[in-house]
Amino acid sequence: MNRCGNELMELLNLMRIIEALSPYWTLLGMHVDSVGRDCAVGHIDIENKHLQILGTVHGGVHAALADAMAWVAILGHYYPDYVHAITINLTTRYLKPINKGQLYAKAKLIHIREPLATINVELSNENNELIATATTTYWVSKTNKIIHEHVDEIKRRKQQ
Tell me the pLDDT tens digit for each residue of 85-94: 999 999 999 9
pLDDT digits (tens, 9 = 90+) for 123-136: 999 999 999 999 99
Inform me whether the pLDDT recorded for 97 exceeds 90: yes
* Reported confidence tier of residue 31, pLDDT bands at 50, 70, 90: very high
Domain count, the chain: 1
What was the pLDDT predicted at 1?
A: 60
Q: Considering the entire predicted model, what is its pTM?
A: 0.95
Mean pLDDT confidence for 17-31: 95
Pairwise CA distance, residues 11 & 76, whole Å: 7
Mean pLDDT confidence for 103-117: 97
What was the pLDDT predicted at 2?
A: 82
State the CATH number of the domain containing residue 39. Answer: 3.10.129.10
Residue range of the domain that includes 20: 9-159
Strand 130-146 and strand 30-36: the pairing is unpaired
In a domain, 4, yes or no: no
In a domain, 91, yes or no: yes
Cβ-based neighbours of 152, under 8 Å, separated by 6 or more? none
CB 55 within 8 A of CB 114: no
Nearest to 106 by CA among 46, 58, 42: 42
What was the pLDDT predicted at 158?
A: 81
Of 98 and 150, the one with more pLDDT? 98
In a domain, 25, yes or no: yes
